[in-house]
Each structure stands twice: as C-alpha cells, then as structure tokens.
Amino acid sequence: MQEHLPVQAPPRGRIPQIDHDSIRTLGLALFSPAPYLEVMRHLVAGLRGLGLLGKWHVPAKSSLFRARQRLGFEPLQVLFAATAKPMANESTPGAFWRGLRLLAVDGTCWDVADTEANQAAFGRPGNGRGTRRSAFVQVRMAALVEVGSHAVLDAELAGCRTGEVTLVGRLPRSCDAGQLVLADRGFLGVPLWRAFTATGADLLWRVTQLPCTTGVAPDMITSTASELR
C-alpha cells in the first residue's frame, strides 16, 4: 500500500494508519456476516496468542465507523489494481484448456446502504408496485474472472441502470493473447466481440440469437467452433 500512495512515514516500529484502516476494511469483506467488533477480534486472534498485542484492545465501534469513512475508496482501488493478477498455474484444476488460460466475464447486482448519497450515485431498480422503485439502492458490477482460481482480474462498477454490456466493454484492457474468454448469452455483438478479439484473446461465447440479429457473421462463429473440435 505504501508503495502506491503518498503516506506520511509513521514513527519507527508502527504501521501507517492507512494500512490499519485498509486491513480492517478487507476484514469486513472476508467476514461479511460478522459485526464490526467481531471482525476486529477475528483479525487479531492470532496476535494475542503470540503475545504481540500488549495493552492493545478492540476500539469502540464508532471508531471503526470513522476509520472506514476516513479511508475512502481510493486506497482499496489502488490496492486492487496492484494485486489483481492471474493466480492459477498449469496444475490448477480447470484453469487451462489446450494451453489457453480460461477467463470469464459476467455481471451481477447487489444491495447497498439506503442513503441519499448512494441513491444519487447508483439509483434504484424499478418494480411494478407502489412507487415503482425497489426498497434498496443497487450497484451493478461486471467482472473478468480467472476460472480456475476464481480470482477477479478486473471489474467495473456503476449504477444499477447501467447495462452489463456497457461495463463489460471496459474489460478488454485486461485481456491478452493466450487466454480463452468465456461469456454467457446476452453479450454477443460486433463491437464487444471486436474489442475482445483485438487484444489477441480467443473467445467462446454462448449464442441464443441468430447471427443476423446480433450482427455477428456466421463465419465468425463457425471458425471458432471448428477450432474447438
């Protein structure tokens, strides 16, 4: 973290505050069902057994809330960009096919805190009842994932009304030759197909529509299919 962000040097023997806050935030993701204070107990459990905690004690819950707000998203974004790399090797089950590293793209949505700031940034999906808005604000994410390790190599987030195809269109930046990118139905289309193939990656995408409705020429599909035999 210190290599990528301008962090003021702490006193000798102490960890920078930004690293403390980052570790706590990562712990919230690892132990997501647990309350804040329980997450802290999980993180320091081994240190206490080694006698490394000294007089340290779990801080008040309000202090953890403030630390999370103080951290913001930028340090975690930098940390992800610096560490999101393929993890599988040739011995990892399901990671390679005929020498090609298997990747997959897909999208999902999840609920976030119902705040005015989140609603302004991400919006709410509609429904067919009442106010025609869902109960929760939602974020949409599209991700490029390594199949064998499930490691997320790249991701794009936006409001729930931004389409998956739009977000996936930003992911070719992390593709390269020697990879086979898998995708489910709904992503096939000339602009997206060309964006991925321009990286040198091979594609295997599910098709549920006729080529004439997607704009993809039949020979684009049959040439790929013949190589898979």
| Share of the chain residues as helix, strand and coil, in percent rounded to the nearest 5 | 40, 20, 45
Name the residue ranges covered by the structural domains of the chain.
17-82, 85-228
Cα–Cα–Cα angle for 145, 183, 187, nearest 5°?
125
Q: Which regions of the chain does DSSP assign to beta strands (E)?
A: 96-97, 100-112, 137-146, 152-159, 179-183, 202-205
Please state, as a whole number, how many other Cβ atoms lie within 10 Å of the Cβ of residue 188: 23
Which pLDDT score, from 0 to 100, does residue 14 have? 44
pLDDT at 168 over 60: yes
pLDDT in tens, 203-226: 999 887 555 555 555 555 544 444
* pLDDT: which is higher, 26 or 225: 26
What is the overall mean pLDDT for the chain? 81
The CATH label, of 3.30.420, 3.40.50, 1.10.10, 3.30.870, for the domain at 85-228 is 3.30.420
Which pLDDT score, from 0 to 100, does residue 47 have? 75
Q: Which range (50-54, 105-109, 126-130, 189-193) has the least confidence?
A: 126-130
Question: In DSSP terms, which residues pair with 137 in a beta bridge?
Answer: 112
Q: What's the whole-model pTM score? A: 0.75
Which pLDDT score, from 0 to 100, does residue 76 have? 85
Kindly list the distances between the CA atom of residue 175 and the CA atoms of 56, 77, 87, 105, 154, in Å, as whole numbers in the listed order.
45, 19, 15, 11, 9
Q: Are strands 137-146 and 100-112 parallel, antiparallel or unpaired?
A: antiparallel
DSSP 8-state assignment for residue 128: S
Q: Reduce the DSSP state of residue 96 to 3 states and report it.
A: strand
* pLDDT: which is higher, 219 or 199: 199
pLDDT at 200 over 70: yes
Which pLDDT score, from 0 to 100, does residue 225 have? 42
37: phi then psi, degrees, rounded to nearest 5:
-65, -35
Kindly list the distances between the CA atom of residue 102 and the CA atoms of 15, 99, 130, in Å, as whole numbers in the listed order.
38, 9, 44
Helix (H) or strand (E) holding 222: helix 218-228
Q: Which range (9-18, 40-49, 72-81) has the least confidence?
A: 9-18
Kindly indicate the confidence band of residue 229, based on its pLDDT and cuts at 50, 70 and 90: very low
Residue 153: what residue type? L
Which pLDDT score, from 0 to 100, does residue 136 have? 85
pLDDT in tens, 123-159: 988 776 656 677 789 999 999 999 999 999 999 999 9
CA dihedral 177, 180, 186, 191 (to 10 degrees): 20
Which pLDDT score, from 0 to 100, does residue 13 have? 41
Which pLDDT score, from 0 to 100, does residue 209 have? 59
* Range picked from 57-71, 74-88, 156-170 for highest mean pLDDT: 156-170
| Residue (of 80, 94, 91) closest to 152 by Cα position | 80
pLDDT in tens, 90-135: 999 999 999 999 999 999 998 988 889 999 999 988 776 656 677 7
